């Protein structure tokens, strides 16, 4: 009986030892993988969402017209966070805040990420409006562009309100005036955007604006932006997309 007990104990000990060894190997492998991933990363994001004690942050990007998650961060007690990812070239990313059960729509923070150290500081109360992002030259340029572009948006909203009001009591003269004002506004915005892109053609913001803001502008303007890009920008994600888009536009126009 004792010998059988010893056999069972030895077998159990062997099994436990093997499990412990396997567990240690798994942990070492996981640590090694994490270190490899961290060393492979070229974008290092650190930040603070003041007032956030519980929740989740999701780092996302647009791929094939859909949002794809790059990283998820659990916030528990400490509002500070870090994320290390790899990007082939500078790209617009989105930091999404999962507030849980809430009706708030202030949950998404776009920022132009690029290799290096990026710092994001904001608040839970005004996640988008209070955001301060440093460490990205492309983002600095995007903010500069957006400061004037927001004025175009405000003017466009004002014209839309006039349109709706005019629909209740149609007035041909007012209708013509609104349409003329809208067309002039659109031309001003497109020219400003094209000029901004050409002026900053040494940064990835240039092809991004061409594709996201003025994709339906005359092909001549898009071609000018494309030809103004530096070799490095031309090889970037948005640079390649713009070159392909201009090529397709020219092919379609040649068929007409």
Instruction: Decide which of 185 and 33 is more confident.
Output: 185
Q: Do 16 and 36 belong together in one domain?
A: yes
Rounded distance between C-alpha atoms, residue 156 and residue 185, angstroms:
8
Within the chain, what is the greatest distance between any pair of CA atoms? Answer: 107
Of 109, 116, 112, nearest to 85 (Cα)? 116
Domain count, the chain: 3
Phi-psi region of 80 (alpha: psi -120 to 50; beta: other; left: phi over 0): beta
Does 17 have pLDDT greater than 70? no
| pLDDT single digits (tens) 61-115 | 999 889 999 999 999 999 999 999 999 999 999 999 998 766 677 899 999 999 9
| pLDDT single digits (tens) 37-68 | 456 999 999 999 999 999 999 999 999 889 99
pLDDT at residue 38 in the model: 54
pLDDT band at 256 (very low <50, low <70, confident <90, very high): confident
Domain end (from 135, 161, 182)? 135
pLDDT at residue 2 in the model: 36
What radius of gyration do the chain's Cα atoms show?
A: 27
For the chain, how far is it from start to end, CA to CA, in angstroms? Answer: 95
Which range (25-34, 65-74, 246-255) has the least confidence? 25-34
Domain end (from 116, 135, 154)? 135
Looking up residue 131, the CATH number of its domain turns out to be: 2.60.40.180
Q: Do 111 and 212 belong together in one domain?
A: no
Averaged pLDDT for residues 152-180: 92
Rounded distance between C-alpha atoms, residue 145 and residue 148, angstroms:
6
Which range (11-25, 59-73, 113-127) has the least confidence? 11-25
Range of the domain at 16: 1-40
pLDDT at residue 65 in the model: 87
Q: Do 240 and 159 belong together in one domain?
A: yes
Q: Do 102 and 150 belong together in one domain?
A: no
Does 188 have pLDDT greater than 80? yes
Domain end (from 135, 151, 174)? 135
Q: Do 142 and 232 belong together in one domain?
A: yes
Output the DSSP codes for 121-141.
Answer: EEESTTTTTT-EEES-HHHHH
Averaged pLDDT for residues 8-29: 40
pLDDT band at 12 (very low <50, low <70, confident <90, very high): very low
Q: Do 35 and 45 belong together in one domain?
A: no
Q: Do 32 and 121 belong together in one domain?
A: no
Q: Do 168 and 200 belong together in one domain?
A: yes
Q: Do 29 and 93 belong together in one domain?
A: no
Helices (H), the chain: 2-40, 137-168, 172-199, 205-212, 219-228, 231-234, 237-255
Q: Do 34 and 99 belong together in one domain?
A: no
Q: Give 122's strand partners.
A: 49
Question: Is residue 39 within 8 Å of residue 85, measured between CB atoms?
Answer: no
| pLDDT single digits (tens) 191-240 | 999 999 999 999 999 999 999 999 999 999 999 999 999 999 999 999 99
Q: Do 110 and 26 belong together in one domain?
A: no
Q: Is the dihedral of CA 64, 65, 67, 70 positive or negative?
A: positive
Helices (H), 200-236: 205-212, 219-228, 231-234
Rounded distance between C-alpha atoms, residue 194 and residue 207, angstroms:
10
Q: Do 122 and 216 belong together in one domain?
A: no
Does 26 have pLDDT greater than 60? no
- Whole-number Cα distances in Å, 199 to 144, 182, 226: 13, 26, 12
Output the DSSP codes for 20-39.
Answer: HHHHHHHHHHHHHHHHHHHH
In the block, residue with structure tokens 């898009």: 222
pLDDT at residue 231 in the model: 97
């Amino acid at each position: 009986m004792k010998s059988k007990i010893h056999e069972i104990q030895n077998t159990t000990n062997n099994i436990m030892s093997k499990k412990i060894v396997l567990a240690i190997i798994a942990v070492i492998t996981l640590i090694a993988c994490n270190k490899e991933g961290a060393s492979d990363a070229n974008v290092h994001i650190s930040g603070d969402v003041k007032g956030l004690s519980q929740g989740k942050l999701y780092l996302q990007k647009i791929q094939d017209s859909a949002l794809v998650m790059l990283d998820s961060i659990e916030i528990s007690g400490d509002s500070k966070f870090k994320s290390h990812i790899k990007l082939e070239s500078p790209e617009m990313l989105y930091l999404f805040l999962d507030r849980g059960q809430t009706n708030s729509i202030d949950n998404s923070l776009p920022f132009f990420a690029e290799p290096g150290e990026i710092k994001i500081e904001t608040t839970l109360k005004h996640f988008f409006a209070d955001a301060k992002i440093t460490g990205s030259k492309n983002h600095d340029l995007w903010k500069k562009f957006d400061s004037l572009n927001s004025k175009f948006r405000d003017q466009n909203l004002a014209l839309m309100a006039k349109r709706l009001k005019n629909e209740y009591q149609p007035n041909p003269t007012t209708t013509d005036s609104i349409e003329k004002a809208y067309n002039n506004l659109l031309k001003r915005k497109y020219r400003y955007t094209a000029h901004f892109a050409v002026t900053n053609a040494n940064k990835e913001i240039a092809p991004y604006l061409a594709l996201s803001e003025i994709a339906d502008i005359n092909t001549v303007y898009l071609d000018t932006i494309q030809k103004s890009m530096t070799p490095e920008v031309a090889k970037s994600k948005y640079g390649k997309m713009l070159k392909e888009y201009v090529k397709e536009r020219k092919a379609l126009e040649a068929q007409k």
